[in-house]
Amino acid sequence: MKIYHNLDEIIAYFDNAFKNSGDIVSRKFHIGSSLSRFGFIIYIDGMIDRQVVEDRVLTQMLASAQRLPEHFFNEPISLFDTLKEGGMTTADLKEEEDLEKALNAILTGDAAIFVDGACKAIIVSAKGFPNRGVNEASIEVVVQGSNEAFSDVMRINTALLRKRVRDVNLKIEQSIVGRRTQTNVALCYLDDVVRPVVLDEVKKRLENIDIDGILDAGVLEELIEEDISSPFPQCQITERPDKAASGILEGRIAILVDNSPTAILVPCTMNSLFQASDDYSQGWEIMSFVRILRFGAAFFALALPGLYIAITTFHPNMLPTVLAFKMAAARENIPLPAVMEVIMMEFAFELLREAGLRLPRPIGSSIGIIGGIIVGEAAVQAGLVSPIVVIIVALTGIASFAIPNYALVSGFRITKFLIIGLSAVLGLLGFWIALLILLIHLASLKSFGLPYMFPFAAGEINGFSDFKDTLFRAPIVFMKKRPIYANPENCDRQHTGKLGNWHKKE
Amino acid sequence: MFALMAFNWDRTEMEDRAFVVTIGIDKGEDAPFEVTMSILDAETMEGGEEAPRVLRHATGDCPASAMGQIGATISRSVYFGHTKAIIIGKGVLNDADKMQKTVDALSRNNDINMRTVVMATDKRAAEIMEAKPEAHQMLGIYLAGFYSKANTNAAALVVKADLEQLAADFRNSGTTIIPKVTLEGEGDDAEIKIGGVALLKNQSLAGFIDEEQMAGYLWIKENAQGLQLTADSATIKIERSKPKIRFIEENGRLICNIKVDVTARLEAGRNSEEAARNFELKIKSEMQETFRVFQKKYTADGFGLQEILRKHHPNLYKKYAKNWDRTFAQMRFTTDIELKIRH
Amino acid sequence: MFALNNKISLRQVQALLFLEIFGFGVTALPRRTAEHAAQDGWLGVVLAVFGALLITWLITSVVKLNIGQTFYDYTKKLFGGFIASVFCLLLSIRFILLAAFYLRIFAEITQVVMLPTTPFFVIFIAVLSLAAYGASKGIEARGRLAEMLILIVLLPLIFVFGISSKEIDFTNLLPLFAANSTEIGKAGYQAFFAFGGIEFLLLISPFLSRPKGFRKSAMGTIATMGGFMVIITAVTIARFGPLNVVAHNWPVLKMMDTVSLPGSIIDRQGALIMTFWIISAYAIINAALFFSSLLLKDVAKRGKHIHYILLCLPIIALAANIPSDLDQVYEWFNLYNNTFGVATMVGLPLIIFVASMIRKGRDKIAQQKANI
């Protein structure tokens, strides 16, 4: 819709649009000394930096208009241009001819200035809405390395990425998703490294979305996932700019959603969910060890309760004799069957986890202590559960915290119950059937066309070089090729020469 | 969740299992078999002077049915997954048919580990099971532990038999040896003693051979590592011994030649040519003695020489296997010892 | 790769082939060969490997001549629609019965080793639904899964056999070459059927992402697998001796169960063994289900793949339930091998190979005539 010629029509339009909106600030004012021309400014209070608008824009514009010769006021177009070019001391200006777009701009926190008869608007971008600034990462904490986290404001987030990747090829493609929320979504990628197929696929899926609103990156994630029936995350969500930047360097696409302090990295494989960002900032020997530990932790978090049930209630002959006797003695006089015991304790643990999450932080930690230690101890003392089950459940819980990705842990938490259930019916047979169901599911899963279990399956499509960053983290100098995410035509990561003791060899 | 509880066919809680640690099999007074089981008593396991076990007896026409009988008398389900030792009483050893039934029943039971230790006794198995070994409160675990230790240190003169080997020997020749366990002393002071073997021929007991007469067996069949020998004033400890058995045909009878390479370390005394020769003579005489007992006293090939002949001398085997008892009885036995003593 | 293209790589073909054939092939192999050739049973396996390699050569030749086409398509081109349908039906019946036999044997093993009182139908339902779930995910997922499973299967196997070699009396294999050629031949004939499932290769053609090197990798897999089979047979016979190995239904199982792992917290290797058997059972039943339903769909020319999978499930379960005991299972299995087995493992590839060669020759002559 074109901007009306008549200023009063424009004012009427906005009055209608912002009916019952108390936070709208608008004013009609005279331009210049002659009282024949009017201007109109409108913005939303609180979303804008008032000082910029009042001092740098409005004051300056009116002052310069005073100096203009009379004839300018008869030609609204040239008056508009002169005011735009000479009247304002801010760089972030835009012309807009469409009234609806101007309305959207106001909604995102810009100020719009109209001049009677010009059929155009000046959009002054002086966003000044409240934000938290750059906070410390609280979920993906690292021992060594930057602790910056994404903020709620997309502009800050893109700046955090730019700050890390100073390459003209870093593209930040913005689009708007959400009929009502009009949320800005940005695709950040390296133009020459990203796989075009994946980029097209991501764009296609974003365009496909038609929804009232996106309030968080998690919502968007679910809308662009391949298989929504899967409990496993097919996109990697991170709150760390350095992780997003390293993903971008690998050729992945980081999707930023306005008002959401996280980035979505696509495509993703299960292996990349096991990688933490300080894996690369510490020695490869210790980090390889930690990686193995993490995969072991994943197995524990997933399978330990099921394995316990299968072995103790079906095949105690697999246990060493003395241990078996000890366990039998520990279960003496416990009223519940082992399955119920484990399920009960698992629920109690999940409950604690959820309660600890929702409670205010100072109380949260004490819930952990009360729940974990006191209730567990009391349950054992009362003879409700055997101490071994407490150990098993606690180990499962601890193991689940050793995995760096929260969404992945959630997947394991759910599937754990499938394994418990089948183990309780068919023992080890059930245990393996449940594991195989899981493996079949994982093998069939893809993330934006990339096999989820890569490189453990289909590793050869990148010449097995991705194995260098799986169970082991090879020294960085060995990772010559970019991972699978990168465009195969541009997959050289580094040409670092010989490392080592420089002065040793003359 | 309740569906989970409903669908169970094989699930048994740990505390609902009766862990059988030791099985004793005897000839019953009225019935052919009497089976004794030593079952873990988990409630008394933590601390306490009492051995954490209960003994149960049952009789039956075959060992399996007697074992089933016991299951009917207790509230828990009998579980053989952790059975550590099987003790066979004299009454059963004497009867080939009963032995066959016992081995059948035990090896058919899928829960029982085929590596379970089997022992013979010259008393009733139940008597042995009532005694309390000092080293460990559970007899079965004590016996099993004894053998796992003995694997690396043959200082105690033992021969191991497990269920698998017993079943295999019964299938092959019917001749086998089972280590002997017995009681020393009377009444409550009676102590478990392991030593000597029961020699079985044609699936039944030929006789018990005591420890001294079995001394040569280690040299002939196994590794005597860890054994201490004393002759004159010198003591040596065997580090390695390796027997090599050959057969030679001479005038229509077989000669069995055993050459043993022995490496030993001097523990005490002085090393001399003479001492070495004395040791050699001692080993030789031990071997000859054992062979004499097996050959002359019982005419039972407890060394498995027939198998060795089959493997390494198929032609001689074809000729002599038919009447192995006679061949074995007429066999001549020569020994060579090569002893190296290190300081 | 970056699309759902229903193609698998050669590596995945190899992994699938290995998983499908190896596990169940080897279960009873030492017993069945030792029954005929005593301690020389492993020589029979060697013989069988050469037979299997020959068949693989035939099958890969057929596949190479008809690359990218389904079995139904290329047999139709050679023999016409009716005979092609007959071939397809023959193969699918063969696969369904194969699945039924292996399902039954697996249930028997499970009952002996771990679940003594669980009814057969529960085990049938559990394993069949697992296999059907896997088959419904398509060839790509099967291929990727195979790549992962092969590690889970092979590493413990090599580990257990490596450990066990310490306590094995290899003199049990003596005297060498005592069996005469008939005995070894018989053992070889029995061992040959351990490669049952090699016909899956006939159907793999439309799924190959890159046909180059197909023969080499297929033959390589069969040869490696054969090597493993020879070693396992020899080790198992040596472990029990030729007389006792015959007394066990599944000597390999018994052997893996009784190996004592040093310093292990596991008293008996139930878990390790069950990994091996469950994955093997899954792999072969899944493959049989996948391919037989594919063939049925080709013949009927309508419907979805998943419908035919569901159709096959009850047939397999019922067929597996028929034999009254294990002896009958193996009796019928022998009969089945001598008829269906020979027909599809040897007959079918041979007929198709000869027909394709004749056709190729004719085409060449026609071409030459046209050129003149």
Q: What's the pLDDT tens digit per position in A47-91?
A: 888 888 888 888 888 888 888 777 777 788 888 888 888 777 777
Give backbone dihedrals phi and psi of A46, rounded to 5 degrees, phi first: 95, -30
Q: What ipTM, to 2 d.p.?
A: 0.93
Instruction: For residue C273, count CB atoms less than 10 angstroms from its CB and return exposed for 0-12, middle for 13-18, buried for 19 or more.
Output: buried
Compute the distance between CA of residue A496 and CA of residue A477 in angstroms, rounded to an integer. Answer: 7
pLDDT of residue C262: 62
Residue with token string 């993703």: A268
Over 90: is that where the pLDDT of A415 sits? Answer: yes
Token pair listed for A132: 């938290």
Q: How far is A445 from chain C (nearest CA, A)?
A: 8
Asked if residue A101 has pLDDT above 90, the reply is no
Q: Does B77 touch chain A (CB under 8 A)?
A: no
In a domain, C214, yes or no: yes
CATH number, position C80? 1.20.1740.10
Residue C4 domain-assigned (yes or no)? no
| Domains of chain A, residue spans | 7-125, 154-268, 284-450
Query: Is C2 part of any domain?
Result: no
Q: Is residue C1 part of a domain?
A: no
Q: Quick one: average pLDDT of C123-130?
A: 94
Place of tokens 């209608």: A16
Question: Residue B134: what pLDDT?
Answer: 65
A209 class by beta-carbon count within 10 Å (0-12 exposed, 13-18 middle, 19+ buried): middle
Of the candidates B143, B123, B126, B124, which has an alpha carbon nearest to the alpha carbon of residue B135? B143
pLDDT at B299: 83
Is A387's Cβ below 8 Å from some Cβ in B?
no
* C298 within a domain of the structure (yes/no): yes
3-state secondary structure A311-328: HHHCCHHHCCHHHHHHHH
Query: Quick one: pLDDT at residue B48?
Result: 52
Whole-model pTM? 0.90
The reported pLDDT for the residue numbered B155 is 45
Residue A138 CA: distances (Å) to CA of A155, A239, C302: 21, 9, 56
pLDDT in tens, B68-91: 888 888 888 888 888 889 999 988
Number of domains forming the structure of chain C: 1
Band (pLDDT 50/70/90 cuts) for residue A263 is very high
CB atoms within 10 A of CB A487: 18
Cα B27 from chain centroid (whole Å): 20
Of residues C344, C292, C361, the one with CA closest to residue C59: C344
The string of pLDDT tens digits covering residues A467-492 is: 888 888 888 888 888 888 888 888 88
Q: What percent of chain A has pLDDT over 90?
A: 34
Paired with C148 in beta bridges are none
Terminal C-alpha separation, chain B:
70
Chain C: residue nearest A437 by CA? C130
Tokens of C104: 């039954």
Q: C115, B9: Cβ pair inside 8 Å?
A: yes
C345 lies in some domain = yes
Question: Nearest C-alpha of chain B: how many angstroms from A367?
Answer: 28
Residues in chain B closer than 8 A to A321 (CB atoms): 82, 84, 141, 144
pLDDT at residue B50, as a whole number: 59
- Residue B81 backbone dihedrals phi, psi, to 5 degrees: -65, -20
Q: Which domain holds residue C99?
A: 10-371
Smallest Cβ–Cβ distance between A339 and the set B4, B40, B113 belongs to B4
The predicted model gives B200-212 an average pLDDT of 86
Enumerate the residues of chain C whose CB falls inside 8 A of the CB of residue A453. Answer: 144, 148
Chains that touch B (3 or more CB pairs under 8 A): A, C
Angstrom distance (rounded) from CA A465 to CA A477: 13
Instruction: Assess A461–C contact: CB distance below 8 Å, yes or no.
Output: yes
Round to whole Å and give the CA distance between C164 and C269.
12
